[in-house]
Copies of this chain bind each other. A is one copy, B any other.
Amino acid sequence: MSPFRKLVPYADQAKARGKKVYHLNIGQPDIPTPPEAISALKNTDLKILAYSPAIGNLSYREKLVNYYQKFDMAVSPEEIIITTGASEAIQLLFYACMDRGDEIIIPEPFYANYNGFAQIADLEIRPVSSYIEDGFKLPPLAEFERQITSKTKGIFITNPSNPTGSFFSKASLEKLGELVKRHDLYLFVDEVYREFCYDDNEFYSCLRLAGLEEHVIIVDSVSKRYSACGARIGAIVTKNQAVIDSLTRYAKLRLSPPGLGQMLAEAMVELPESYLAEVKQEYDNRRVVIYERLKAMPDVVNYLPGGAFYCFAAFPVDNASKFCQWLLEEFEHEGATVMLSPGEGFYASPGRGHNEVRIAYVLNCDDLNRAMDCLEIALTVYPGKTQKLDASMKVSLS
């Protein structure tokens, strides 16, 4: 299970004792869901909330075509399948594209729930290591290649990345695409954070990779983009017709994606670009706060994330899971503490990430600064602190 879930009871107890908990452990933004879209929903003249088509309402898929066009992603409504969040998109892809016992390569650290989805579909995840020291760059192609076996069906990446916030450039994606083509694999790309690329990072969708039309499958969702996690509306986009056909059969099994969520999503996707520009600026501000504050803490390893609203940090502690629990159970500063996600839950390789955490910068800058105050002090008083990053991490890097 997702590593942050294990800490929930400790957070609940802390709050029950009156402690303020800054939640940087979960990707639930504090940004309002676009009020214009909620108004559109409230103005509905809906009479019967019937099943939508299994692949989603055509009117919504048509609007998504225009949205994707802004990123030079040329697709038709027939190349889009609406899902119950990105979670269901991943599950449907696992059923539709792979057989039991097949393997999939994923750079680690990765979104922890992939493990559960793979387990249900009886797939094996083969991790390829990326490292905090270079901001979790895409691993060298040789590392991917080393994991390819006769059972490998695909590579799964998230760009920009949850949980690391790393951004993958067009050049690195093109190289990965060549490898994908050479080995005739699928390239699954979760692009739910595509609006949130910072500095000079220009988002490049893998759907644009020339000659990879049959290989690339995009996972999407409105949850983070529009702060509408509860809508449960995601999408799969691919130009591979056989995959669309197989997905459609699985989509029909569960009848239809949520109808009210689709109505909201249809209103959100038509919002002026200024809405997302403002949201991006807000996350960018938060990113800088988190980066600068972590950088100022002694013996903390961090980096400037290129996208999304996450980053990893390595702490001078014996064990980051213990530290995260201690933050909730024992520590408090001015009546508050901070909740982080232990890093090890995002790794498949044993021993990796044990002094790392994932931070989701989903609170406003004032709250983030207060949370960083807590963290800064906590790191100086934590009983299990170490003077420097411990040896086992360096070993894993050698």
The residues of A with any CB-CB pair to B shorter than 8 Å are 1-2, 5, 28-33, 38, 41-44, 46-52, 84-85, 87-88, 91, 95, 100, 113, 116-117, 120, 122, 227-232, 249-250, 252-261, 264
B254 touches A230 (CB 8 A): no
Contact of A253 among B41, B46, B95, B116 (CB under 8 A): B116
- 10 sample A-B contacts, Cβ–Cβ < 8 Å, listed by A number: A1-B252, A33-B46, A41-B41, A41-B42, A42-B44, A50-B229, A85-B255, A88-B254, A229-B256, A231-B258
How far is it, in angstroms, between the C-alpha of A379 and the C-alpha of B249 when the chains are bound?
Answer: 32
Q: Which one, B33, B44, B49, contacts A228 given CB within 8 A? A: B49
Bound together, the chains give a CA A120 to CA B95 distance in angstroms of 8
Contact partner of A85 among B44, B113, B117, B254, CB < 8 A?
B254
Q: A42-B44, A117-B253, A254-B85 are in contact. Are A50 and B230 (CB under 8 A)?
A: yes
Known A-B contacts A230-B259, A258-B84; A51 and B28 likewise in contact (beta carbons under 8 Å): yes
C-alpha gap A1/B249 in the complex (Å): 7
Supplied contacts A41-B42, A120-B250, A258-B260, 12 more A-B pairs, CB within 8 Å: A1-B253, A30-B48, A33-B46, A42-B44, A49-B264, A51-B229, A84-B88, A87-B253, A87-B254, A230-B260, A232-B259, A259-B261
Q: Contact at A32–B44, with CB atoms within 8 Å? A: no
List residues of chain B with CB within 8 A of the CB of A88.
Answer: 84, 254
Known: A42-B42, A84-B254, A253-B117. A48 touches B227 (CB 8 A): yes
A155 to chain B minimum Cβ distance, whole angstroms, is: 22
The residue among A49, A100, A258 with the most chain B CB atoms within 10 A of its own CB is A49
The closest CB in chain B to the CB of A52 belongs to B230
Given contacts A49-B264, A51-B28, contact A232 B253 (CB under 8 A): no
On whether the beta carbons of A46 and B51 are closer than 8 Å, the reply is: no
Contact flag A46-B38 (CB < 8 Å), given A87-B254, A117-B253, A229-B256: yes
**Cα(A84)–Cα(B42), bound, Å:** 22
- The smallest C-beta distance from A10 to any residue of chain B, in angstroms, reads 17
Complex interface: chain B residues within 8 A of A33 (CB): 46-49
CA distance A88 to B2 in the complex (A): 20
A259 cross-chain contacts in B, Cβ below 8 A: 229-232, 261
Q: Quick check: B1 and A230 within 8 Å, CB to CB?
A: no
- A254 partner residues in chain B, CB cutoff 8 A: 84-85, 87-88, 91
B residues in contact with A46, CB < 8 Å: 33, 38
Residues of B within 8 A of A50 (CB): 28, 229-230
B-side contacts of A5, CB under 8 Å? 252
Shortest Cβ gap from A45 to chain B (Å): 9
Q: How far is the CA of A254 from the CA of B43 in the complex (A)?
A: 30
Taken together as a complex, chains A and B put the C-alpha atoms of A88 and B259 apart, in Å, by 15
Q: Shortest Cβ distance from A110 into chain B, in angstroms?
A: 14
A275 to chain B, nearest CB (A): 15
A51 — which chain B residues lie within 8 A by C-beta?
28, 229-230
Name the residue in A5, A42, A50 with the highest tally of chain B Cβ atoms < 10 Å from its Cβ.
A50
Which residues of the partner chain B approach A2 to less than 8 Å between Cβ atoms?
Answer: 252
- Complex: A229 Cα to B91 Cα, angstroms: 22
Q: Which residues of B contact A227 (CB under 8 A)?
A: 48-49
Which A-B residue pairs are the 6 nearest by beta carbons? A230-B259, A260-B260, A258-B258, A49-B230, A87-B254, A116-B253
CB distance from A43 to the nearest CB of B (A): 8
